Structure 1
Amino acid sequence: MTSEWTPSSADGDASNVALLQLTSYRRAEAVVIQAAGEVDVSTVDQLMEAVTVALATKPERVVLDLGAVRFVASCGLRELLRGHAAAVSDGIRFIVAATDGALRRSLEVTGLDHELETFDSVDAALAAN
């Protein structure tokens, strides 16, 4: 299953669509969500909608690939934690992949690197036991 995610907007304004592109696909017992662009107050709901849809399919794990994300605001970090909590409550692993550079530093400074399961790549996240 490969799907191109087209974010919805409550007011019909799609001006923030270009700021974040999301693609999701199933790989074995996982749903991988690839994000590209920026996660901020104008796009965080789109990301969380994709996570919610992925969790609803009840996979073994959801892997959020942030390798092409240039920026994550504090609201995005908060929603990563909420996505993790929702997954864990349903017995689903929630993994953040391709965390390097500024994103890794943000996770370390906030302590989220100890709360979230992270891997350097999607392949590593999918291979993990």
Structure 2
Amino acid sequence: MELNVSTSSQGGHAVVTATGELDLYTAPRLQNALAVLLREEVDRIVVDLSGVEFCDSTGMNVLLSAMKRLKERGGSLELAAPRPAVRRILQVTGLDSVFTVVDAVPAPHAG
């Protein structure tokens, strides 16, 4: 299964949409997208997981390292709309209390 990653950004806010399976083989695609945003000085990233059917520890580590780098400079990373399987992984690993998890992708700020 492939992983498709698309990014839209507006002002210091970006939404990264991932669809497919996030695992050892596909995680570098998400990592690259996040690295580009980190270089662009984006201060808030929302990762839309509504299309992710599977996520392993490699995928979680990619998300964790991006969140850590953002937090170091006062930014934030949120996970939006994870499917039940991904939400379960977050709960089992305790990462649901580390990440900010929201039920829907927030609308971009007007103005």
Q: Same fold (TM over 0.5)?
A: yes
Matched, 1:112 2:103: no
Q: Which has the higher contact order (CA 8 A, sep 6+)?
A: 2
- Structure 2 CA distance, aligned partners of 1:42 and 1:33? 18
Runs of 4+ in 1 over 4 A off after TM superposition: none
Residue 28 of structure 1 and its aligned partner are, at CA, apart by 4.5
- Structure 2 CA distance, aligned partners of 1:28 and 1:54? 12
Contact 2:70 2:77 in 1 (8 A): yes
Q: Any stretches of 5+ residues in structure 2 without a counterpart? A: none
Contact 1:61 1:94 in 2 (8 A): yes
Matched, 1:65 2:18: no
The SS at the match of 2:106 is helix
The one-character-per-residue Cα deviations of 1:69-98 (angstroms, maximum 9, x if unpaired) are 111011111221111111111221111111
Q: Equivalent pairs: percent with the same residue? A: 33
- Structure 1 CA distance, aligned partners of 2:64 and 2:5? 19
Contact 1:31 1:62 in 2 (8 A): yes
The SS at the match of 1:63 is strand
The match for 2:36 is 53
Query: In angstroms, what is the RMSD of aligned CA positions?
Result: 1.6
- What TM-score, normalized to structure 1? 0.77
- Structure 1 CA distance, aligned partners of 2:12 and 2:75? 11
The match for 2:61 is 78
The match for 1:123 is 106
- Bigger CA radius of gyration: 1
Contact 1:58 1:92 in 2 (8 A): no
- What TM-score, normalized to structure 2? 0.89
Q: Any stretches of 5+ residues in structure 1 without a counterpart? A: 1-17
The SS at the match of 2:58 is helix
Contact 1:32 1:65 in 2 (8 A): yes
- Structure 2 CA distance, aligned partners of 1:29 and 1:75? 27
Contact 2:3 2:18 in 1 (8 A): yes
Contact 2:52 2:83 in 1 (8 A): no
The match for 2:8 is 25
